[in-house]
Amino acid sequence: MTILALLATALLFGGMVLYSFGFAAFLFAALPADVAGPTIRRAFPHFYLFVIVTAIIAAGLVWQADPFSAALLAFIAVSTIPTRQLLMPAINTATDTGAKTRFKWLHGASVLITLLHIGLSGWVLTRFVTLS
């Protein structure tokens, strides 16, 4: 069970890092902005769903071995829900209405949340090493 928890957490961490620093950056480098923007907008709901589901699975798998890590992973899952359901649509509305300052603040908040999630999942990964 612990190995499955480790793999699920590594998938969560790696998936968030790849999406945030690889996929998004690649789209804007490889495609014109008028194509990259709508493409990434369509991808974000799936990204957030991936984070929610993977964090829940990882939390469930690690619960017995390390309740603190499970709580961190559950926090990632729960805090991603309003990010997906509220923050993302607000970012899209700011983009659609040309509210550049609002977009910058909202987008900055989403970046900080994602960085927090990456950091927390990385911390959980280090706990696998230190608790072994």
What confidence tens digit (pLDDT) does each residue in 3-30 have? 999 999 999 999 999 999 999 889 989 9
- For the chain, the maximum distance between any two Cα atoms, rounded to a whole number of angstroms, is 51
CA 28 to chain centre: 19
How does residue 1 score in pLDDT terms, banded at 50, 70 and 90? low
Number of domains in the chain: 1
pLDDT recorded at residue 129 = 86
Q: Structural domain of residue 58, as residue ranges? A: 2-131
pLDDT (tens digit, 9 = 90+) per residue, 38-91? Answer: 999 999 999 999 999 999 999 999 999 999 999 999 999 999 999 999 999 999
Interatomic CA distance for residues 51 and 86, integer angstroms:
16
Residues 84-119 pLDDT 10s:
999 999 999 999 999 999 999 999 999 999 999 999
Residue 57: predicted pLDDT: 98
Residue 70 token pair: 């499970």
